Amino acid sequence: MKKKIRLSAASMLLLTVALTTAACGGNNGNGNGNASPSTNTAPENNAAASDSESPSASAQEDAVEIVVWDKPSADAADKAFKEEAFAAFEAKYPNIKVTHVEQTKEKEREQFMTAVAGGEQPDLYKNPYPDMESYIAQGIAADITDLWNGFEGKDGYLPSSLNAATVDGKIYGVPNDMYVTGLLYNKQMFADAGLDPAASLKDWDSFGAAAQKMTDASKGTYGYAILGMDWADWFFEYYVWQAGGDLTEKQPDGTAKLTFTSDATIKALQYYKDLKFKYKATQKNVVQSLDDNQKDFYTGRAASMIAGSDWIGGLVAKGMDLNNIGFSALPAGPSGKAPSQVGGSYWILNPKSSPEKQQAAFTYATYMTSKEYLQSVLQYNKDNGMFPNLLSVRTDVAVTDYVDGLPAEVVSGVQAAAKDTHLEYFLKARLSPYIVKPIQEALLNEKADLKSVLQTAQDLAQKEVVDKYNEEVKK
Amino acid sequence: MSIPGVNNRMTRITNIRWMPVLFLLPSVLCYLLFKYYPLLSMVRVSFFRYSIVNPPGEFIGLANYTEFLTSSTFWQAVSNTFVFFALYLGLTFWIPIVQALLLSDIRKANAFFRFMYQLPTIMPAVAGVLVWKWMYNPDFGLLNYWLHFFGLGPYMWLNDLNITKLAIVLPAVFAGNGISLLLYYSAIKSIPTEILEAAKVDGASPWRRMWTMLLPNIRFIIVIQFIAFMSGVLLAYDNIYVMTQGGPAGSTTVVSMLVVNTAFQQSRFGISGAMSLFMFFVIALLTVLQNKISAEKD
């Protein structure tokens, strides 16, 4: 009896161990349970098929498996389209097996960095422009200069689309998409206030006055959705550019110089403060999220906001009338100029992947940014009433051919905004929290001494970031 | 031939009840793997300028420690953390104790009240925080709308540097911890009723009974709860992140948030590990102090 109990207990123990192991273990994300990047080529899997004379079978003998984080979510509107595209790629390149992995919709950067730290960086990953500087410096993005130079189709891409992925003449990313920022405005709200958008959006003063006129607390409407949350430096930098400066300067020797206390930065911050306290033209909750700003805009609470040229489709999808949306270059600042920012995303390759995998990943990235593929995306968008991004990384794709009823002002607005563009400020990834603090102080405290808060922020950033960065650069 | 020493040891080994050990083994292994291994890795990483691509990178000794200890951003986060601790302690820690004391005196519908106190725990904590965040909205939030009927406000809540921390703590005042209440209530109920009855007969007032009999008898639970409360508050992250992401102007950035941001936004895992270790020692020290003070009182 005792023996029986022991046997039964031993069985339960085995079951417990098995369950624990299953719970503790996990799929490493590449679907085949193989963590080693250099061993993912799977000729043995195709050994059985090697007797076949078919070309696809012989191609599979040299199959390369890559992991790409680009799987659409289950509720994505274009899920079926994307899966068709994946299948088309595999049909065209039978020797490349792609494992598509879905990424979280929030905290993408943290998820990616966790994968990198855990030795699970995908062979191909899509990341936004501002991360390139940091990823290149840390060796997370592979140098693809040779692959790019040997790529026949490279002339189809806009030369400027490579700017944020090029360091010291070396290329680290395949351009995926681009946008240019400008001012989105609600035409109806301008008309209701008797305002002419062209005159109102001419410069800082005219815009402040117009935004004030469109603010009506009794109706819950306001003139300008300001970005004051922890990404506040993203749009604030445009105002510094408009005032004729920048937040940092990259010196010829590669070191960084802070310019938080320059006249341009102080003027820009004063204007931010004026929009809140003098013109009273912003929302009260200045630290609300970017999503909330967008919501205020498409629900008709906010008359204007800064946006990327690729956001218009999203606003239309949320129910905003395309004919009610205006897009303009930003109002000019004291420098008389109104530079906007160019952004987008790149495909980056894992530097630790084998050359075969890197070649396969590069082939996939260029396929997904090929003329044929981008045209099919535009056609799909058109067929499904989806508004496309008005900028393309390619010179041979005419986006406007795929939009019906596109207001001429929107096209001209995007073109005007694209005339004078900047990349985001140097060393943004590390300096962002330091400059956000004075921006928020200016927006929340009417009595804030701007020069003083900027000086404090600069001193702190100098000590904690820039001195160390410059030391590393000089080593 | 038998050797007496070896035989005794063998007997001890064979006398161990192996079955419980084997049953415990999976959980112990998981604990070692997912708690101690990361902890020890963190200690190791804290001595390196950690390279995420070629770990562990350059050995730099105590440089990460000197860097964060001389960083005003870190000390600002430490200050924020302890202000939160003081606010939570002053405004929330005692509430379930008082509720349990009152509840223990209620005879009628006692089970109903206990049930009602537990009911809010079915709501996910983050969902509760999101509701409060919506209520705080200065443009259309409900809180200012309600307060205006009493001639109060409008307040800027999370947009006011002076009251942001208070606004983060406030939900915990109104939505107290039902589980703590239940623990305190059980501890009070475990006190022999004869003692309390005798005290009543001797003419001890309710106030005196509370201070001299009830609270001393549940002190063990209070100490345990305080240690859990302290580490919970000093390592708080989720509710503050959902409410403010550490802003505005860094006024709610706590050490745990700084640790996460330093690691995952700035990719500086070495210094992030060093800061984590610092907080580990701070909490350990406070726990030891707390235990010592409590032991002295006993």
Are A454 and A269 in contact by the 8 Å Cβ rule? The answer is yes
Residue B273's alpha-carbon distances to A220, A455, B62, B127, B277, in angstroms, are 47, 30, 12, 30, 6
Give the mean model confidence (pLDDT) for residues A188-192.
96
Which tens digit of pLDDT belongs to each residue from A116-164? 988 899 999 999 998 998 899 889 999 999 999 999 999 999 888 999 9
Give the mean model confidence (pLDDT) for residues A406-411.
79
Are A427 and A465 in contact by the 8 Å Cβ rule? The answer is yes
For A53, residues 6+ apart whose C-beta sits below 8 A from its C-beta are: none
Residue B180's alpha-carbon distances to A419, B166, B170, B205, in angstroms, are 62, 22, 18, 26
For B153, residues 6+ apart whose C-beta sits below 8 A from its C-beta are: B143, B144, B147
Looking at residue A115, what is its pLDDT? 92
Picking from A224, A273, A437, A447 by the largest number of B CB atoms within 10 A of its own CB, the best residue to mutate is A437
Which chain B residues are within 8 Å of A460, Cβ to Cβ? 72-73
Query: Could you write out the DSSP letters of every residue in B102-113?
Result: HHHT--TTHHHH
Query: pLDDT class for A33, splitting at 50, 70, 90?
Result: very low
Following CA atoms B184, B189, B190, B192 in sequence, which dihedral angle do they give, to the nearest 10 degrees? 140
Give the mean model confidence (pLDDT) for residues A424-436.
90
Give the residue extent of every domain in chain B: 1-45, 63-297
ipTM above 0.85, yes or no: no
Which chain B residues are within 8 Å of A109, Cβ to Cβ? 264-265
Domain A61-172+344-369 is in which class? alpha beta
Q: Which two tokens stand for residue A230?
A: 């922890």
Looking at residue B25, what is its pLDDT? 94
Neighbours of A407 (CB within 10 A): 16
Average pLDDT, chain A: 86
Q: Is the pLDDT of residue A368 over 60?
A: yes
Alpha helices (H) along chain B: 4-15, 18-31, 37-45, 63-69, 72-88, 95-104, 110-118, 125-136, 142-148, 164-174, 178-189, 193-201, 206-209, 215-217, 219-234, 238-244, 255-264, 269-297
Q: A444–B52: do the CB atoms touch at under 8 Å?
A: no
CA distance A298 to A261: 36
Same fold, A61-172+344-369 and A180-339+398-474: yes
Looking at residue B298, what is its pLDDT? 65
Nearest to A345 by CA among A135, A129, A181, A131: A129
Q: Which two tokens stand for residue B285?
A: 């020290």
Residues pairing with A341 in the sheet: A422
Give the residue extent of every domain in chain A: 61-172+344-369, 180-339+398-474
Domain B63-297 is in which class? mainly alpha
Phi, psi of A305 (to 5 degrees): -165, 155
CATH superfamily of A180-339+398-474: Periplasmic binding protein-like II (3.40.190.10)
Which residue among B156, B246, B269 places its CB closest to the CB of A230?
A: B246
Which chain A residues are within 8 Å of B51, Cβ to Cβ? 138-139
Which tens digit of pLDDT belongs to each residue from A291-315? 999 999 999 999 999 999 888 888 8
Give the mean model confidence (pLDDT) for residues A224-232.
94
Nearest to A181 by CA among A324, A391, A337: A391
Query: pLDDT class for A39, splitting at 50, 70, 90?
Result: very low
Size of interface A-B (CB pairs under 8 A): 102
Neighbours of A428 (CB within 10 A): 20
* B216 at A interface, C-beta within 8 A: no
Which residue among A109, A140, A285 places its CB closest to the CB of B138?
A: A285
Neighbours of A468 (CB within 10 A): 14
Q: Quick one: how far is CA A168 from the chain centroid?
A: 23
Looking at residue A20, what is its pLDDT? 42
> For a pLDDT cut of 90, what percent of chain A falls above it?
63
Looking at residue A8, what is its pLDDT? 53
Query: pLDDT class for A375, splitting at 50, 70, 90?
Result: very high
Angle between helices B219-234 and B178-189 (to 10 degrees): 160
CA distance B154 to chain A (A): 11
Q: B156–A13: do the CB atoms touch at under 8 Å?
A: no
Neighbours of A361 (CB within 10 A): 29
Query: pLDDT class for A60, splitting at 50, 70, 90?
Result: low
Query: pLDDT class for A37, splitting at 50, 70, 90?
Result: very low
Give the mean model confidence (pLDDT) for residues A189-212.
96
Q: Which residue of A has its CA nearest to B137?
A: A285
Q: A20–B52: do the CB atoms touch at under 8 Å?
A: no
Looking at residue A107, what is its pLDDT? 80
Residues pairing with A166 in the sheet: A171
Q: B267–A444: do the CB atoms touch at under 8 Å?
A: no
Establish how many alpha carbons lie within 13 A of residue A236's alpha carbon, considering only the half-sphere containing its beta carbon.
31
User: Three-state SS for B61?
Assistant: coil
Q: Is the pLDDT of residue A453 over 90?
A: yes
Tell which wins on pLDDT, A381 or A96.
A96
Query: pLDDT class for A229, splitting at 50, 70, 90?
Result: very high
List, in sequence order, every beta strand (DSSP E) within A271-426.
304-308, 325-328, 340-349, 421-422
Looking at residue A400, what is its pLDDT? 81
Listed range (A129-138, A258-267, A403-412) with the worst mean pLDDT? A403-412
Looking at residue A438, what is its pLDDT? 96
Q: A20–B140: do the CB atoms touch at under 8 Å?
A: no
Residue A438's alpha-carbon distances to A433, A463, B123, B255, in angstroms, are 10, 17, 37, 20
Residues pairing with A170 in the sheet: A167
C-alpha torsion sign, points A264, A268, A269, A270 = positive
Q: Is the pLDDT of residue A5 over 80?
A: no
Q: Which residue of A has its CA nearest to B51?
A: A138
Q: Which residue of B has its CA nearest to A230?
A: B247
Alpha helices (H) along A25-93: 55-61, 79-92
Q: Which two tokens stand for residue A253?
A: 């020797």
Q: Is the pLDDT of residue A239 over 60?
A: yes
Residues pairing with A258 in the sheet: A248
Q: Is the pLDDT of residue A259 over 70?
A: yes
Nearest to A330 by CA among A235, A231, A400: A235
Looking at residue A47, what is its pLDDT? 33
Looking at residue A78, what is its pLDDT? 86
Pairing of strands A340-349, A421-422: parallel
Give the mean model confidence (pLDDT) for residues A198-221.
95
CA distance A60 to chain B (A): 31
User: Mean pLDDT in runs of 10 for chain B (298 residues)?
Assistant: 62 76 93 92 93 89 94 93 96 92 87 86 86 91 92 89 93 83 92 86 87 90 91 92 90 94 87 94 90 77
Phi, psi of A383 (to 5 degrees): -60, -30
Name the residue with tokens 């990361």: B38
Q: Is the pLDDT of residue A213 over 50?
A: yes
Give the mean model confidence (pLDDT) for residues A269-278.
97
Q: Is the pLDDT of residue A197 over 50?
A: yes
Neighbours of B33 (CB within 10 A): 11
Q: Is the pLDDT of residue A38 over 50?
A: no
Query: pLDDT class for A52, splitting at 50, 70, 90?
Result: very low
Q: B247–A230: do the CB atoms touch at under 8 Å?
A: yes
Residue B249's alpha-carbon distances to A264, A290, A437, B257, in angstroms, are 21, 17, 4, 14
SS3 content of chain A, % helix, strand, coil (to 5): 50, 15, 35
Looking at residue A27, what is its pLDDT? 39
CA distance A405 to B9: 90
